[in-house]
Amino acid sequence: MVLTTDIKRWWHTQPAMTQLLLGVTIAVFLIEWLLGGSTVTAVLYYLGAKNDQAIIAGQWWRFITPIFLHMGLMHIAVNGVVIYFMGMQIEALFGHWRMLALYLLGGISGNVMSFALSPDQSVGASTAIFALFGAFLMVGESFWENPVIQQLTRQFLMLTVINLIFDLFSSGIDLWGHVGGLAGGFLLAYVVGVPRIGAIPKVKRILAAITIVIAWVALLKLGFTNWQ
């Protein structure tokens, strides 16, 4: 009974979903290490890296598994810090389950765009992280009259732009995955809404949902056309 009470208290008072996602990500990284190393291409492929030919062959789970895989200690260290601090912000605004939806579906959006436009195998939570950036930008656009949100949005917008510029001049970065995650998170935030702050017009929510579906279908078709 005491344990149940402690779990309920943790769920209601802590960024529980952020902590769970971070815990799963670290656990998967340890599995990578046990299987031979997080920088071994074959290990990452075996665990579900985004690989265009494998997706074409029917391995659709590779749109979501790359979110939890990382290549090297620095990769997971940087992403882990961002997941924790950005996740806390988004979870406080959207709640546990909406934050989970934004993280997973936004990450999938990034991997779908990467599948369509990038031939390279890729892994990393960055697609989902950029989805969280996109979700916060939606909050800034919808509730701009709030001075606190104004200030935070400017900071996150600057951080997002800096990251995208860094991507342009860095090798081995899945730029299309990041752009897809950002756009996906922005649109998905309209769909799930932010009831803790205020209502999103129904028209905007419907249009965002339709846009996401059309974009996914178009990108999937493009990916199959490009890589078959």
How confident is the model over 183-219, as pLDDT tens digits? 999 999 999 999 888 899 999 999 999 999 999 999 9
Would you state the pLDDT for residue 159?
Answer: 78
* 53-87 residue pLDDT tens: 999 999 999 999 999 999 999 999 989 999 999 99
Torsion, Cα of 203, 206, 210, 215 (10° steps): 80
Q: What is the pLDDT of residues 130-152, one digit of tens each?
A: 999 999 999 999 988 888 888 88
Q: Name the residues annotated as catalytic.
A: 126, 178
Distance of CA 102 to the CA centre of its chain: 7
Looking at 3.40.50.720, 3.90.1150.10, 1.20.1540.10, 3.40.710.10, the CATH number of the domain 2-227 comes to 1.20.1540.10
Weakest mean pLDDT among 121-125, 161-165, 222-226? 161-165
Q: What share of the chain has pLDDT > 70, as a percent?
A: 96
Per-residue pLDDT tens digits for 11-27:
777 899 999 999 999 99
The whole-angstrom separation of Cα 118 and Cα 128 is 17
> Residue 6: is its pLDDT beyond 80?
no
pLDDT for residue 154 is more than 90: no
Give the pLDDT band of residue 161 (cuts 50, 70, 90). Answer: confident
Provide the residue ranges of all domains of the chain, joining segments of one domain with +.
Answer: 2-227
Q: What is the pLDDT of residue 173?
A: 84
How crowded is residue 75: how many other Cβ atoms within 10 Å of its Cβ? 19
The answer to whether 124 and 174 are in contact (CB under 8 A) is: yes
DSSP-assigned letter for residue 143: S
Look up the pTM and report it: 0.93
- Whether 184 and 109 have beta carbons less than 8 Å apart is answered as yes
